[in-house]
Amino acid sequence: MITRGKFISCNLRNKMYACIALHFIWKKDNLHHRIKFLKMKYASLFCLMMIMLSAKCQNSTSIYSLGNLAKTDADSFTYAVIGDYGDDSHGEQLVADMVLGWKPLFIITTGDNDYEDKNGKSIDTNISKYYASYINPDLKRNRFFPCLGNHDQSVTERLKVIDEYFRLFPFLHQAENYDFSYGPIHFYSINSGPGIVKATINTGVLTDLKTKSNAATEPFHLAFFHHPQYSSAYGTVALDDHLAGYKLDAVLNGHIHYYERMTDTIRHIEYITIGCSGRNNDKCGSKLDNSKDIHLETCLDRQNGAVKVTVVKIKSSNQWRMTFDYYNVASPKKPSDSFVIIK
């Protein structure tokens, strides 16, 4: 289930911490009659504390912009989508070989980049071993864009695991949510939380997503976060407002270890679960059979695969065509599912 985050806002929390800190500072000052340079020391420490608190809050409650990453005005390019892949398995190897064979311009993930939760020490084995040629600490050279899955932020060792995640992707500057544009597409990478069943997207992030998506001028808008909004295996687990008003064309998810595609017939949004790029142990279900809004297009389980997205400018109409092709490693020559968005 995906819900809005309900907790004290960072601004209020910062004010509370500030009041406590100021009370402590003035109490000490009155008691010991601190001289001027100690007052300056307190002030400096206070400012540093506030900067750190503000930065941490901003990283988890807003969307950090990486900017426009397009290097050329290409009329066509390809990118790949993988998810739930980081387990150093034979399945991950097969998918990586297939994806790298496509030679995509860049790769995005739907989370669970590192399954082992060994204080983050397995991250190089589970990610870099297969996709090192796409990962670079320099944003201008990097071609790998992840989102956080629940296994990437272990509840018991979250700080250690997530620190290793940001060590591998320093260009994110500790941001758990970020966006970037490439050609005609605006991407939004969202952290849907560490929950195994219940996912939480921070209210501030949702507000930022709506603001950014409505202000952006690119034709296509894609959000990718780990927990699926809809699933035939678990049913309707939508956000409160079904992402209405977010100007999204497609939502890419993972978490459930199969491939699935659904269409919101009212809001015209495609929902794609790509959770089988390493693991493939979940089964398709029938929980959405009676849904009036969400139509199940296809569900493919017990297989490993990834999505290849081809973007082409239609010169005759000055529009863009974005084709999503899902490939199973057992049949890498022919897509098992395809759909097209033209705008």
**Domain extents in the chain:** 2-59, 65-342
Q: The pTM is what? A: 0.84
Distance CA 169, CA 70 (A): 19
Which pLDDT score, from 0 to 100, does residue 325 have?
98
> Can you give the three-state secondary structure of the chain, one letter per residue?
CEEECCCCCHHHHHHHHHHHHHHHHHHHHHHHCCCHHHHHHHHHHHHHHHHHHHHHHHHHHCCEEEEECCCCCCCEEEEEEECCCCCCCHHHHHHHHHHHHHCCCEEEECCCCCCCCCCCCCHHHHHHHHHHHHCCCCCCCCCEECCCCHHHHCCCCHHHHHHHHHHHCHHHCCCCCEEEEECCEEEEECCCCCCCCCEEECHHHHHHHHHHHHHCCCCEEEEECCCCCEECCCEECCCCCCCCCCCCCEEEECCCCCEEEEEECCCCEEEEEECCCCCCCCCCCCCCCCCCCEEEEEEECCCCEEEEEEEEEECCCCEEEEEEEEEECCCCCCCCEEEEEEC
Which pLDDT score, from 0 to 100, does residue 120 have?
59
Which pLDDT score, from 0 to 100, does residue 258 have?
97
Per-residue pLDDT of the chain (343 residues; tens, 9 = 90+): 444 443 333 433 344 444 444 444 444 445 454 444 445 445 444 444 443 444 444 467 899 999 999 988 899 999 999 999 999 999 999 999 999 999 999 999 999 999 875 555 788 899 999 999 999 999 999 999 999 999 898 666 566 678 889 999 999 999 999 999 999 999 999 999 888 877 788 889 999 999 999 999 999 999 999 999 888 998 755 454 556 678 999 999 999 999 999 998 888 999 999 999 999 999 999 887 667 788 999 999 999 999 999 999 999 998 999 999 999 999 999 999 999 999 9
Which pLDDT score, from 0 to 100, does residue 43 have?
47
CB atoms within 10 A of CB 37: 8
Residue for token pair 């983050």: 120
Going by their DSSP bridges, the two strands 199-201 and 2-4 should be labelled as parallel
Which pLDDT score, from 0 to 100, does residue 196 have?
81
Please enumerate in sequence order all residues whose Cβ is within 8 A of that of 305, keeping only pairs 6 or more positions apart, or say none: 95, 98, 259, 274, 276, 277, 326, 327, 328, 329, 336
Distance CA 110, CA 273 (A): 8
May I ask the CATH class of domain 65-342? alpha beta
Cβ(152)–Cβ(79) under 8 Å? no
